[in-house]
Amino acid sequence: MAARTDHDERAESQPEADAEVPAPKRRRSGRIAMAVSLFGELLITVGLVLGLFVVYSLWWTNVVADREANKQGDKVRDNWAQDKGGPGALDTKDGIGFLHVPSMKNGEVLVEKGTSTDVLNDGVAGYYTDPVKAALPTTGKNGNFTLAAHRDGHGAKFHNIDKIEKGDPIVFETKDNWYVYKVFSVLPETSKYNVKVLQPVPKQSGKTKPGHYITLTTCTPVYTSEYRYIVWGELERVEKVDSDRTPPKELS
């Protein structure tokens, strides 16, 4: 038998060395799998956080706002029942009256002074003091009773504003009177900087002469604040509140 050479021994040992080459590849694959797994967990966490934020924004803020609005509304009605303040003492911290829009199917909405988020986040509607001051119907003077409320979150009192149609009633209730309006014009979209819709004579609604108007404004499209949705109504009549506070026929 021929003597084995060093070359033969190296040749026989070579396959074993080759078999060890894939090991670094396996380590790289393991690191990639771990990175993918961590990234997946991160995406799940982010998704859960976003989901909770949506629940908070569109549900929980409504719960909190409705509680606050109900508490303030009860206080207003208690003051009325106790006959606190005269007919002119309407501009109170807690509210001046209640808005009723049957086609929105959202019950009564407390109306307070101002349209800042501090006001509207309490689940109420607010009347404008800026950039154009609203004309309160209780003064009996011509003008535009301009109101705003959230469409989503924080009570979402004007969420169904798109359900309002021409001819629908809008009723504003105060301690002494029911002010019954009739919708005559709707503007589904306009710039949020369009203050002409708030003018005493809202010419974009088609009106050209002074009168007793009401204007509802809110954000649109739904879940955004890019544009404004506008509804205009005109006063048809005023009914005195009786001892039982019997609502007008439009609310029956």
Say how far apart CA 162 and CA 229 lie, in whole Å.
8
Taking alpha carbons only, the member of 197, 204, 195 closest to residue 131 is 195
- Integer angstrom CA distances of residue 61 from 54, 108, 115, 150, 161: 10, 18, 18, 11, 19
Which of 69, 170, 187, 219 is catalytic? The answer is: 219
- For residue 36, the surrounding DSSP H or E stretch is helix 23-55
Number of H helices, E strands in the chain: 4, 8
Q: Is 175 helix (H, G, I), strand (E, B) or coil?
A: coil
Told to judge if 219 belongs to the known catalytic residues of this protein, a careful annotator would answer yes
CB contact at 8 A, 223 and 152: yes
Instruction: Please give the torsion angle defined by the CA atoms of residues 61, 170, 134 and 186, in that order, rounded to the nearest 10 degrees.
Output: 90
Q: Which residues contact 91 (CB under 8 A, 6 or more apart)?
A: 113, 136
Q: Phi first, then psi: what are they for 95, rounded to 5°? A: 145, 155
CA 220 to chain centre: 9
- For residue 75, the surrounding DSSP H or E stretch is helix 61-81
Catalytic residue ranges: 219
